[in-house]
Chains A and B, each alone.
Chain A
Amino acid sequence: MKTKQEQVGTTTQRKISRRAFLGTGAAAAAGGALVIGFTLRRHFHNVDVADEAAGKVAVGNPFDAWVHVQPDGSAELVLAQSEMGQGVYTALPMLLAEEADLDWQRVRVVQSEFSLGTGGSGSVMSNYLPLRQAGAMVRTVMIATAARQWGVAESECTTLNSEVMHARSSRRVSYGQLVPAARAMPLPNFKTVKLKDPAQFTLIGKPTQHLDIPDKCTGAARFGLDVRLPGMVYAVIARCPTFGGTPAKFDATKALAVPGVLQVFEIPAKGYRIFTAGGIAVVATSTWAAMQGRKALQITWNRGPHSTESTDMLRAQMKEALAHAPAWTSDTEGVSLDNVLASRRVESVYEFPFLAHACMEPMNITAHLREGRCEVWAPSQAADAMRSVIAKELELAESSVTVHTTLMGGGFGRRYQYDFPAEVAQIAKHVEVPVQLVWTREDDMTHDFYRPAGMRRMRGALDTHGNIVAWSDHLADVPLSYQWGEPGKRKPDGSELPGRPVYPIAQVRMGFTPIESAVPRAWWRSVETSFNGLAVECFTDELAHAAGEDPYRFRRRLLQLPEIPRVRGKDEGPPPDRNRLIAVLDLAAQMAGWGTSLGPHRGRGIACTTNYAYLAQVAEVTVENDTIRVDRLVTAVDCGQVVNPNGARSQLEGGMLFTLSSILKEAITIRDGAVEQQNFDDYSVLRMPEAPALETWFVESHAAPHGLGEAAVGLTGPAVANAIFAATGKRLRRMPFRMDESTA
């Protein structure tokens, strides 16, 4: 049922090209190729402005993906997804090539100029069916064309490696040769086209090398900051350190005296949904000169209305909120959990800080405005939405703005935002040549859209059998919904709370109290799961220990109890399959040697989740001299059909260690209305010596695939925290974790 970590397949070095392509029709001519256009279903966490903007752009253009089969036998997949290291440029063409029986060595990916929002771990999950259907359409058309030419029955023809074969007459013909005739054939209906039985897959499920990796090892890969155009200039912006602050006055004399500095001008702040700080832009002939020019600026800031905000103040408000009834609760029945008959009660407060995305490539974007048109090069998770933002800022029609999506040095949700696109549009109005807006690391750290900070009071009750009979969770955080909800329409709701625990519990109550803050917040890898996942599985662990039961056995036993009948909410979707969860718990426990002795100062913790996919993880830690070291993470995954085991493993490994970094090291704190951390010297992140050994096991499955980019984020935190408790007897609840934790 499981597959061990396979070796990665042979190296194939192929380029990924990025060029303009205009999709015009379902089987339109494009240089004599057979072209099939189709629509990929988007998947987002939240309905937000990106969705709306994308919807507007999509009008009049029915497709967001295309297949070209060329007369030379090569095939191209024109994709609207963005690549930021998650491997979509390999996993998505694999889906197409599998069903079309394309020669994998001759498949290329082309980045479409029409770009969709890429996030929410949705690329593989949402494209699994459409891309297979598109592939099956190619194969079906090729068979029909060959069969007609040969005068044989279609059922007697087979396909392999971009060829159609007729075994009885020993004839074969390449797809390339069939293209001219195939273009005149009717396309099969995507709804009824015959798909392969997954048991026959030869490419899907095979570890396949990522097509974009060779260029990333030679310096040839071009990221946003690597855009170089003839005559281009570089810009940086001096922004007020405090959120909501603006320049009161400035003197550019010294800045303009710096060699290479060309222009200095003010750009205004932008409000709701764009959220830029505004400031003083410095344009120069090199990035370095622009930075030196900015240092020489003399600015007096009006620090704005939020200049007294601090982390201490926010924490005090959260504590106060938790001492009172929540502003919002999930039910109105008024059943007090205190009245539920229980033999043991447990109560704990968990706390999580603001976090930065800290993508390795700081925010940047390049634009060239001339003659009423704007061309933009954007490392963006949502190029289509950026086009709208830029067009609006420049008062141009969207058709006058072209956005090229570049490679991205990390995304993690940060590259959905509209701040840097709006800024570059403001700057481009003053500059006649191409201009690259560069955010320094300090800009990136102090003007991010942060993962929310919050506190929560968890309460649980156990009956005499050790079953959980009541569970409540009062979250007081600086909510995303108050950043992105329309001003004047913001109301507390449960949108940032976890779904009901997967374990059967009769009385569950969620509560929420919003804390107002000027600190910008937005999506951060896995969004609310990043703080909810830890609380749910750590508190479950606390209840297991309170029940006097082994935490693995406790979870396993609860998952086998009968479901408690209730009406499911309309947004809840189908209930998770508890047997799949039990299977991954068992696999992780078995592979980690759960129950065997680890020796002094060491401990194991377990956690599981049904967010994104079915996962369980066992963490092994050593805690000596108050230093926490994570030694090993053993993970079992049932994500349905694994498309590319190489990429799936990468995404999980990255998610685990990104999370480890956040729970052990990272925190953004606020003082005098500004972020205190500036760079990687005071915002510590995980480094090589702190990276544990990783073992990841997949459950073989042909069920519909789930995305894995965010799946481990809600899992590694609790597994490690539970392991720290096992090693030391101390339960840590405030992130980033320290053995000398203070909750004061």
Chain B
Amino acid sequence: MAQFPLNVNGQSRTIEADGEMPLLWALRDLLRLTGTKYGCGIGMCGACTVHLDGTAVRSCQTTVADARGKKVVTIEGLGLERGKQVALHAVQRAWIAEQVPQCGYCQSGQIMSAAALLANKPHPTDSEIDDAMTGNICRCATYFRIRKAIHTAAQEMRA
């Protein structure tokens, strides 16, 4: 066990853990940030997606040692700017407007993947959306609405 300083959603946190512990479980069990979900543990479903220095990563495949010194943003911190909740992120607003979630379990990861996509590609085509989102499984199969919501968010961010 060792101490790891982490920057999570703009806040400095120190956790005591085995360096091999996946960031997913550090977030969920040690920091009790449960918005990031466990779905498969092998990087195949995307439910645990968070941003590490702005890049979408699977937190089940990222150890706390990997995350040391990097900026971690989770679903709870997506609408934050300088540590303050300013508003919902455009992707979150689009998700509500298009009424995407059903059970909702995978949607934290879907939203984090979509937000990372739009940060890099403000005007994605359908096939770019397909490529970026193919790692995120939804068993309620809300894919059709996810695609629409990403276009809606892109439009709003452009405006």
Enumerate chain A interface residues (CB-CB to B < 8 A).
8, 11, 13, 84-87, 209-210, 212-223, 225-226, 228, 234, 259, 286-288, 358-362, 407-412, 438, 440-441, 646, 650-651, 653-654, 656-658, 660-661, 679-681, 685-689, 691-694
Contact = CB atoms under 8 A, between A and B. Distances in A.
Contacts of A687: 133-137, 143
Closest 8 CB pairs of A and B: A219-B35, A409-B105, A216-B104, A657-B141, A85-B103, A85-B102, A691-B143, A219-B75
Contacts of B6: none
B10 interface: no
A540 B100 CA distance: 35
B106 interface: yes
A215 B35 CA distance: 10
Given A360-B105, A653-B144, A688-B146, A410 B139 contact: yes
B103 A360 contact: yes
B30 to A, nearest CB: 7
A141 B105 CA distance: 41
B36 A219 contact: yes
B157 interface: no
Given A85-B103, A441-B42, A680-B39, 7 more contacts: A216-B104, A217-B88, A219-B75, A228-B32, A409-B104, A657-B144, A680-B137
B21 interface: yes
A691 B38 contact: no
Contacts of A646: 99
B140 A225 contact: no
A218 B105 CA distance: 11
B147 A217 contact: no
Contacts of B119: none
Contacts of B135: 687
Interface string B39-82: 11110110100000000000000000000000000111011000
Contact of B29 (A223, A288, A360, A680): A288
28 contacts: A8-B98, A84-B103, A213-B95, A214-B96, A216-B107, A217-B92, A219-B108, A221-B104, A222-B34, A223-B104, A225-B38, A286-B17, A286-B25, A287-B25, A288-B21, A358-B139, A360-B106, A361-B105, A407-B104, A440-B41, A441-B42, A646-B99, A654-B102, A656-B141, A680-B39, A689-B127, A689-B131, A691-B141
Q: Of residues B32, B96, B130, which shows the largest number of chain A Cβ atoms within 10 Å of its Cβ?
A: B96
Contacts of B25: 286-288
B129 interface: yes
A686 B142 CA distance: 11
B44 A679 contact: yes
A438 B142 CA distance: 26
A56 B25 CA distance: 40
Contacts of B159: none
B151 interface: no
A210 B97 CA distance: 10
Contact of A657 (B78, B103, B143): B143
A441 B39 contact: yes
B141 A653 contact: yes
A214 B134 CA distance: 24
A653 B42 contact: no
Contacts of A658: 139-141
A86 B102 contact: yes
Query: Secondary structure of the A side of the interface?
Result: loop
Nearest to A685: B137
A650 B99 contact: yes
Q: Of residues A217, A226, A286, A438, which shows the largest number of chain B Cβ atoms within 10 Å of its Cβ?
A: A217
Contacts of B101: 85, 210, 212-213, 216-217
Nearest to B32: A228
A219 B21 contact: no
A686 B141 contact: yes
A654 B101 CA distance: 10
Nearest to A216: B104
A564 to B, nearest CB: 39
B156 interface: no
Contact of B42 (A87, A216, A681): A681
B38 A362 contact: yes
Given A8-B97, A234-B29, A288-B21, A218 B104 contact: no
A685 B139 contact: yes
Contacts of B103: 84-85, 359-361, 407-411
B111 interface: yes
Contacts of A685: 137, 139
Contact of B74 (A213, A219, A361, A688): A219
A286 B35 contact: no
Contacts of A654: 102, 140-142
A226 B38 CA distance: 10
B138 interface: yes
A13 B99 CA distance: 12
Nearest to B25: A288
B99 A217 contact: no
Nearest to A225: B38
Contacts of A440: 41
B45 A360 contact: yes
Q: Of residues A223, A408, A689, which shows the largest number of chain B Cβ atoms within 10 Å of its Cβ?
A: A689
Nearest to A222: B34
Nearest to B112: A219
A232 B143 CA distance: 36
Given A216-B107, A361-B105, A410-B139, A688 B134 contact: yes
A675 to B, nearest CB: 16
Nearest to B28: A287
Contacts of A223: 37, 104-105
Contact of A217 (B107, B129, B140): B107
A368 B87 CA distance: 37
Contact of A688 (B18, B79, B99, B147): B147
B1 interface: yes
Q: Of residues B21, B37, B38, B97, which shows the largest number of chain A Cβ atoms within 10 Å of its Cβ?
A: B38
A287 to B, nearest CB: 5
Contacts of A216: 101, 104, 107
Given A85-B103, A657-B143, A657-B144, A360 B28 contact: no
A312 B34 CA distance: 42
A85 B34 CA distance: 19
Contacts of A86: 102
Nearest to A292: B18
A689 B134 contact: yes
Contacts of B137: 360, 680, 685, 687
A711 to B, nearest CB: 15
Q: Of residues B17, B22, B103, which shows the largest number of chain A Cβ atoms within 10 Å of its Cβ?
A: B103
A129 B60 CA distance: 47
A186 to B, nearest CB: 41
B123 interface: no
Q: Of residues B17, B28, B104, which shows the largest number of chain A Cβ atoms within 10 Å of its Cβ?
A: B104
A218 B139 contact: no
Interface in B111-134: 111, 127, 129-131, 133-134
A410 B76 contact: no
Contact of A218 (B30, B88, B102, B129): B88
B99 A209 contact: yes
A651 B145 CA distance: 12
Nearest to B102: A85
B34 A259 contact: no
Contacts of B40: 441, 679-680
B144 A694 contact: yes
Contacts of A13: 96
B51 to A, nearest CB: 13
A693 B147 CA distance: 10
B130 to A, nearest CB: 4
A223 B38 CA distance: 11
Contacts of A651: 102
A221 B137 CA distance: 19
A408 B92 CA distance: 20
Contacts of B79: 218
A360 B138 contact: yes
B41 A441 contact: yes
